Structure 1
Amino acid sequence: MVTEYESALEVAERLNRLTPGEFEKRTGLFSTGAEAVENAVKIARTWTGRDAIVVLGHAYHGRTLLTMTMTGKNVPYKEGFGPFAPEVYRVPSPYPYRWAGAATTETGIAEEAFEQLVDQITTQVGTANVAAIIVEPVQGEGGFIVLPEGYMTKVAQFAKENGIVFIADEIQAGLARTGDLFAVDHEGVVPDIVLTAKALAAGMPLSAVTGRAEIMDSVRAGGLGGTYAGNPVACAAAIAALDVIVDEDLPGRARHIEEVVMPRLKELQAECAAIGDVRGRGAMLAMEFVVPGTRTPDPDAAKKVAAHANARGVLTLTAGTYSNVIRLLPPLVISDDLLEDALDVLAEATRTLA
């Protein structure tokens, strides 16, 4: 951390160039996604002089004390691990399939959820006390919830008007996964801070906080760091991964995967009454399982389908606040033949359940 490796500088320069926004930026490198989230919070609190952090329902931001407090799901992430960090406030997530408000369209849900965010911040927290609002553009562990069009735009504008740092947690949804280089690009949102990890170094332990220079520079020298932050081997992996993502147009590849997979998922939904919803963006797709004829979550059905597929060599993961979602995260470089083969196995698993 005293004298940076050239590879660390190159990763930072690339992220400064690739992340949304034409303004001057700084990047700090760390080891894990949770570290990136924690450091973004530290930076936002320093810049604003405020304490409160606002997160969404169904959010997942990590497993450390602060980030598990920010995470919305109790089991397995929080149960028995309290007490939790103070000054974290949760507002409703605009979860289209399970929205409890009056609105039925995505536009209406986005508006109602935004109104609730503003009301809760204004009345329960105090706008002048909020350091940051942090959002996953597609909520990962919460069940691959795609935030409805317009919601992030409204939230980012509200944050700007009130001196609040708007942070995009792109750790799971970013770096081409959703069909854009960053998931916020779909809506043209420019965050103050963008968080990356996971795909950043193709699985090697590296994460990054990239943000407006004046915000990032507000922390005193030595305030941010870590023993393994900017590890040179991980940085070399990141440079290679970013080359592939950009040069091979993996955002375009993710959009192609959606074109192949989504029609198959909709076919399965039409056949199997236990599939309540199919959703996602790019190569970040999901099926939500319910008791047929209801919207009651059915985690056992999701578990059975996943087990059936896994036993036949197709690796799927369950997710969701109610553990009733099967999430599909195919490698962006997967061949069409292998993708179709995997979908055949998934279809067999679902029809067996039906």
Structure 2
Amino acid sequence: MSRETISQSISIVHPISLSHGKNAEVWDTSGKRYIDFVGGIGVLNLGHCHPGVVEAIREQATRLTHYAFNAAPHAPYIELMDRLTAFVPVDYPISGMLTNSGAEAAENGLKIVRGATGRTAVIAFDGAFHGRTLATLNLNGKVAPYKQKVGVLPGPVYHLPYPSADNDVSCAEALKAMDRLFSVEIDVNDVACFIIEPVQGEAGFLALDREFAQALRRFCDEKNILLIADEIQSGFGRTGRRFAFSRLGIEPDLILLGKSIAGGMPLGAVVGRKALMDNLPKGGLGGTYSGNPIACAAALATLDAMTDGHLKAWGSHQEEAIVSRYETWRAQGLTPYLGRLTGVGAMRGIELANPDGTPAPNALAQLLGLARDAGLLLMPSGKSRHIIRLLAPLTIEPAVLEEGLDILETCLKQLV
């Protein structure tokens, strides 16, 4: 099958062509089976072709395949927003809008905070990833490859160190850097918002320091700055709770959603304080495909499956299996390349490092090929592409999870 018609600027991790999938397994066009620890990069918390999601898509496709909500509202959008706002665990009244993707949610979030504050500056964090659109590129805490060759980006945007036990940046260090930022770089009164991932994805599953999260919330309240939580990858049960910000003891003002919101269908959302969401003029928010009826139906079926009991059980089982295996590998000295275990819940990364502690991207590149040949798909992450990003569906069968970890163990031992 020729790929000459596809832009060569799209980077491909696994040079295969998939045919179909079921829960945590996929098959390529030659019939080879793989265990999927990529999960569509965090989109498939409910796995491939979840029966409830598939049935909802089929049923909705016989009734209404599309209508632009801002032209004439449709029932799936209205029902989903009612359900979704009830699903977000905050104590204040909220409303929201649906988008086509997480990046589009981030773009609309920026519009909303500008309208509400009259300010334009944004504070993001080193290692952040918020999308590939022009405005979200500047939010990203990494130049290569996202910001290369695209020139001046929308701003102003400033970056701070991201404090986490997973990267050895302390709360005190991040607060000191923030103090310097407002002493040297920008007037705090010009800042519209901070945008932060409760667990960074692209950076290698780094869990935000709880003390810093609470200090940041207090600071934002004192300075009338808004706080945006990007839950696009960490949301919908990936950390064992509905959303990862609940682990930090804070409530953000706006929350960006996407990826696993709709069981594989393209959908995103911005939700938050109602006064913020309502501050732009009529027509300031919307979109032709935003909140497509079929995607909304899939999202409703997704919410049906994501009970608190399911999320806790799924997250705990996967976390226990990964942590247990990792600790065994460390105790055995499985490979000199085995670094730290990052993340929280079922959102876990395994660092590959050289004996001197420096990142080992070549080892990870080798591991990707070994695992793929053995029937396991893995996803790289981290500043140096040296951290395995584990994103198996939360619904993965225990035997399939163990099989995948067995393959990973065998391949780790083969690293040279």
TM-score range, shorter chain: over 0.9
Which position in structure 2 is the counterpart of 1:152? 213
Q: Distance in 2 between matches of 1:310 and 1:189?
A: 40
Which position in structure 2 is the counterpart of 1:185? 246
- Cα 1:122–1:241, aligned 2, differ >3 Å: closer, same or farther? farther
Q: Aligned pairs, how many? A: 345
Indicate the structure whose relative CO is greater, using CA pairs within 8 Å and at least 6 residues apart: 2
Q: Distance in 1 between matches of 2:258 and 2:120?
A: 25
Equivalent position SS for 1:83:
coil
Equivalent position SS for 1:353:
coil
Say whether 1:130 aligns with 2:191: yes
Q: Quick one: which of 266, 284, 300 aligns to 1:205?
A: 266
Which position in structure 1 is the counterpart of 2:99? 30
C-alpha offsets along residues 103-150 of structure 1, whole Å, 9 cap, x if unaligned? Answer: xxxxxx123313322431343221101101000000001111111222
Q: Distance in 2 between matches of 1:73 and 1:112?
A: 20
**Contact 2:341/2:349 (CA < 8 Å) preserved in 1?**
yes
Letter in 1 for 2:104: E
Letter in 1 for 2:93: E
Give, in angstroms, the shift of residue 269 of structure 1: 3.4
Say whether 1:67 aligns with 2:130: no
Alignment of 1:70-219 (within 5 A): 70-99=139-168, 109-219=170-280
Letter in 2 for 1:28: M
Give, in angstroms, the shift of residue 86 of structure 1: 2.2
Q: Quick one: which of 71, 85, 88 aligns to 1:16?
A: 85
- Cα 1:156–1:122, aligned 2, differ >3 Å: closer, same or farther? farther
Q: Distance in 2 between matches of 1:95 and 1:73?
A: 17
Letter in 1 for 2:409: A
Which position in structure 1 is the counterpart of 2:388? 326
Letter in 2 for 1:286: G
**Contact 2:98/2:291 (CA < 8 Å) preserved in 1?**
yes
Which position in structure 1 is the counterpart of 2:402? 340
Letter in 2 for 1:74: V
**Contact 1:269/1:278 (CA < 8 Å) preserved in 2?**
no
Give, in angstroms, the shift of residue 190 of structure 1: 0.6
Q: Distance in 1 between matches of 2:182 and 2:350?
A: 32
Letter in 1 for 2:289: Y
Give, in angstroms, the shift of residue 97 of structure 1: 4.3
Equivalent position SS for 2:228:
strand
**Contact 1:173/1:284 (CA < 8 Å) preserved in 2?**
yes
Which position in structure 2 is the counterpart of 1:40? 109
Letter in 2 for 1:90: H
Alignment of 1:42-61 (within 5 A): 42-61=111-130
Q: Distance in 2 between matches of 1:261 and 1:98?
A: 20
Q: Distance in 2 between matches of 1:247 and 1:192?
A: 23
Which position in structure 2 is the counterpart of 1:312? 374
Question: Matched residues, percent identical?
Answer: 39
Give, in angstroms, the shift of residue 59 of structure 1: 0.2
C-alpha offsets along residues 146-185 of structure 1, whole Å, 9 cap, x if unaligned? Answer: 1122221111121111111100000000110011110001
**Contact 1:20/1:191 (CA < 8 Å) preserved in 2?**
no
Q: Which piece of structure 1 moves more, 244-253 or 309-318?
A: 244-253
Q: Quick one: which of 263, 282, 299 aligns to 2:361?
A: 299
The structure where helix makes up a greater share of residues is: 1
Q: Distance in 1 between matches of 2:139 and 2:186?
A: 15
Q: Distance in 2 between matches of 1:3 and 1:333?
A: 36
Equivalent position SS for 2:320:
helix
Letter in 1 for 2:347: M
Which position in structure 2 is the counterpart of 1:284? 347
**Contact 1:250/1:333 (CA < 8 Å) preserved in 2?**
no
Which position in structure 2 is the counterpart of 1:103? none
Q: Quick one: which of 280, 287, 306 aligns to 1:245?
A: 306
**Contact 1:256/1:282 (CA < 8 Å) preserved in 2?**
no
Ranges in structure 2 where 5+ consecutive residues have no aligned partner: 1-69
Q: Which piece of structure 1 moves more, 74-83 or 150-159?
A: 74-83
**Contact 2:81/2:97 (CA < 8 Å) preserved in 1?**
yes
**Contact 2:122/2:155 (CA < 8 Å) preserved in 1?**
no
Ranges in structure 1 where 5+ consecutive residues have no aligned partner: 101-108
Letter in 2 for 1:35: E
Q: Distance in 1 between matches of 2:245 and 2:114?
A: 23
Give, in angstroms, the shift of residue 247 of structure 1: 6.7
Q: Which piece of structure 1 moves more, 283-292 or 169-178?
A: 283-292
Greater Rg over alpha carbons, structure: 2
Which position in structure 1 is the counterpart of 2:18? none
Equivalent position SS for 1:249:
helix
**Contact 2:210/2:249 (CA < 8 Å) preserved in 1?**
no
Q: Distance in 1 between matches of 2:293 and 2:79?
A: 11
Q: Distance in 2 between matches of 1:305 and 1:77?
A: 24
- Cα 1:127–1:148, aligned 2, differ >3 Å: closer, same or farther? same
